[in-house]
Every structure is written in structure tokens, then in C-alpha cells.
Amino acid sequence: MTSKHKMEEEKLDANSISFIALCHRYCVTLESLADEATDSDDFCRSMLYMLPRLYMTAFDLGMSGDDISDYRDADSGDSVNEVLDENAYTIVRDNIAAIMGSHDTFLETNVEDMRYSDTPIASSVSECLADIYQSAYDFVATAKELPAEMLPELLSDMKIRFRDYWSETLCNVLRILNSLYQRSELLSDNF
């Protein structure tokens, strides 16, 4: 590593470095599901450990609401490249669904459409986690290709994506995973 590259990396704060590492770890964890015999209890425990940390580091990425508005107004573009293909997404989603079994589907109560519907709206743990995976995967893949001086812009883009989309998804799936795990429903099904 050149000293110039090392100096540019040092410009990132500890939280930004942690966020990059957590995104990578999250991706590796979900990608390894096909290779390991993971039961639903262990999987939930792993997600309950990782998701709050991912939320906290993304929340603290360092942009205030005003900074985000300024970033959007500058029309700086979308710096995260869409890298993950549909097949890889589907594999991750299906692996999670297989682990979760009958507990994959849950009723979503925090959806705007719910206010206007008499019918409950269903969601799935596998789709929520795969959506977060897609954001994290695209971010990590883009970060690997960018020069260090571009990482702050990439992190700003992820902060916006976090605020506008995947923070709510993360909270929703965390709620259901916590509920299942704390009630020990997963253990009773002998997955």
C-alpha cells in the first residue's frame, strides 16, 4: 500500500470503516448459507447480532438531514453501482426462506398501504434480508472499485439509501426475528 493511499484511507472515520466491514460481513454471512447447515435458531441469533450493528453504523454515517438535502440538491448522481444480478439475489432469498420455513412470512403492519386495506399485507423475512443484502452487496462491490478519495461520496449515497429505504426494512425484519427468537418458536419446530 502506498503512503498516499494509506493517508486517503485514514480520512475515513472509524464508523465509516466499521460500516464497510459490517456490510461485507453481512454479505458473506448470507452467501455462506448454502455451504453451511444453519438452523433457523442460529440464523436468527446471527441476524439479531448483526442487524442492530448495521443499523447503528449506518445511522451514524455522519450526514445530517440538511447534508442529505444538500447532497440531493447538488444532483451528484447515484454513486452505488447496481452490481448484484437477479440470480444471486434469488439464491440468497431462497436460502433464507428454506431456513425460516413456515416462519418466513409475516404480517406487515407498518406499511402505508395498510391504512387503506381491509386485507393484511404479508411480507417475508427472506425478501427483507435479501433486499438489505442487495444494498450492501452493491455498496461493497462499488467500494472495492473506487479510489479511496471517492469513498466519502459513496458513503453519503448509502446514508441516503439507508434513510429512504432499507432502514425501515431492517427495523421491520428485526422486529419479527426478535419476536420469533424470544418466543422460542423456531426451536419448537425442530428445523
- pLDDT of 77 over the 70 cut: no
- pLDDT of 113 over the 80 cut: no
- pLDDT of 119 over the 70 cut: no
Mean pLDDT across 150-175:
94
pLDDT of residue 120: 65
> Could you report the per-residue pLDDT of 25-35, keeping only the tens digit for each?
999 999 999 77
Mean pLDDT across 86-103:
96
Residue 130, phi then psi, degrees to nearest 5: -70, -35
pLDDT of residue 47: 97
pLDDT of residue 68: 47
- Entry pTM: 0.81
Per cent of the chain over pLDDT 90 is 63
pLDDT of residue 35: 77
> Could you report the per-residue pLDDT of 5-24, keeping only the tens digit for each?
443 444 788 999 999 999 99
- pLDDT of 2 over the 70 cut: no
pLDDT of residue 78: 74
> Could you report the per-residue pLDDT of 145-155, keeping only the tens digit for each?
999 899 999 99
pLDDT of residue 161: 94
Q: Among 138, 142, 141, which Cα is nearest to 153's? A: 142
Residue 38 — pLDDT band, cuts 50, 70, 90?
confident
- Lowest mean pLDDT of 10-14, 74-78, 118-122, name the range: 74-78
String of DSSP letters for 63-90: --HHHHHHHHHTT----S-----HHHHH
